[in-house]
Amino acid sequence: MKRMTRHLSLWMLLAMALLTWQSAVARELPDFTELVDQAAPGVVNISTSRMVERQASPFHDFGGQEIPEIFRHFFGDRFPIPPGGGPGRSEERQSLGSGFIIDEAGYIMTNAHVVEGADEILVRLNDRRELKAELVGADAKTDVALLKVDADGLSPLALGDSDDLRVGEWVAAIGSPFGFDHSVTAGIVSAIDRTLPRDAYVPFIQTDVAINPGNSGGPLFNLDGEVVGINSQIFTRSGGFMGLSFAIPINVALDVADQLRDDGRVSRGWLGVMIQPVSRDLAESFGMDNPEGALVADLDPEGPAAQGGLRAGDVILEVDGEAVESSSTLPRLIGRVSPGSEVELTLLRDGKRREETITVGDWPDSEGAMASGQGADPAPARLGIAVGPLEDAERSELGIEGGVRVREVDPRGSAAQAGIRSGDILVSIDHRAVAGPEQLAELVAELPDDRAIPVRLYRDGRSLFVALRLSRD
């Protein structure tokens, strides 16, 4: 009996300890009720409509509904049309998204892809008022759009500082997933300064907040009830939330919105360079300890970088003292510089660090493309390629003085291992210009074994570097 009493007392102590621990944990979890009460009036539902030519498609039997806007943001309009499909009668398409009021004058922020191509934009407020909105402007590169409504009694949201965000802190989102107005979800900041493949100008905030179609354009809040981001994208394999959500930092969005309101367009800095990542082998070939920075593969001859003295093969390491951790960092750093301003670039050239001051240009409205004989003299067998000379017209078109065209590639050779292909134009090797096939043979004969060597190529009219490593014979 005494033993049973002792066991019972032990279990009671454990139960009390567990309850105390659960109570403590509950007290530490954030309470979003006050945040939602204050912020909800400033969050809006956005619906758009547009007239399109009806086409036969695999989605015809979905009741004529618009494909969810978040899918269209990722995949565009590239849905297949079966044989026999074609234009038919016009029909109205509708889509849904979210947004939020930023001032009492009626300005509203959302995503550019939410209102893209819209013939009519309707904004529904928390008090059920429905208003027609004017599109002030949109910027596809940052996916930010600014709307304007004419109404009284609006409730603008408090805007925070996204630069103060820290990984691990709590955040919440309010939006209209699948049309369910003012749904609230919460989570933590998973990462900051994320770069996505199609969005080089936005240092995204990554969260695990549940975001679904219809949340796009809605606000992301910190625990102080301040907007720190605009929910923009999700990573998904199923079409729904999978724990990876991305928001545009509010500091980036506000800069874009201010330019759209004041100028009707967005100006961003431009260097006029084509860049590529620095791989580990390329880093070794340039004498770098670690792969970092952005490698200049080519330059617009009329662009700011070329005019300021940059060269193909330079590795940009810093912009005004801020490190270029990878090639994807450079467009963001330059893009936020006002055109006409000077920046100091720290470069690595021929194994030595140097400084260059460049006057940044304005991003051109249209990006130009760079364009791309016979008779072959074999390059040494060490490379495993056969090359031929270039015609003068080809050199003139590419703006180069020398170079050779790769005619054949031995799939077992060093060149193939480096990624060199038949049709490539080889213009330099180990930082030395290639004048022609005979001179290439001389250069290759002098190359060291078992060390990565930088090779500059033109492929499909574009310049790039590869790292070539020669094996001992």
Residue 313 Rama label (left phi>0; alpha psi -120 to 50; beta): left
Cα separation of 350 and 430, whole Å?
Answer: 10
Are 359 and 422 in contact by the 8 Å Cβ rule? The answer is no
Rg of the chain on CA atoms, in Å: 29
Answer whether 229's CB lies under 8 Å from 236's CB: no
Candidates 361, 311, 313; CA nearest to 334 is 361
Opening angle at CA 49, ends 43 and 52, nearest 5 = 155
Q: Is 263 a catalytic residue?
A: no
Q: Cα–Cα distance between 282 and 240 in angstroms, integer?
A: 39
- Is 113 annotated as catalytic? yes
Nearest by Cα to 261 from 104, 100, 108, 132 = 108
Q: Which of 73, 95, 98, 143 is catalytic?
A: 143
Q: Give residue for tokens 């100006």.
A: 267
Exposure string for 198-235, b = 16+ CB within 10 A, e = fewer: ebbbbbbbbbbbbbbbbbbbbbbbbeebbbbbbbbbbe
182 counts as catalytic:
no
Which residues sit opposite 100 in a β-bridge? 43, 109
Choose, from 47, 95, 113, 424, the residue flagged as catalytic: 113
Backbone dihedral region for residue 287 (phi beyond 0: left; psi -120 to 50: alpha; all else: beta): left
Say which of 176, 216, 245, 463 is annotated catalytic: 216
What is the spatial distance between Cα 124 and Cα 57, in angstroms, rounded to a whole number? 31
C-beta of residue 426 within 8 angstroms of C-beta of residue 402: no
Question: Among the residues of 89-224, which ranges form H helices?
Answer: 112-115
Residue with tokens 């033109």: 458
Sequence-ordered strand ranges (E) for 403-451: 404-409, 425-429, 432-433
Identify whether the C-beta of residue 328 lies closer than 8 Å to the C-beta of residue 319: no
What is the β-pairing status of strands 245-249 and 452-459?
A: unpaired
> Annotated catalytic sites, by residue?
113, 143, 216
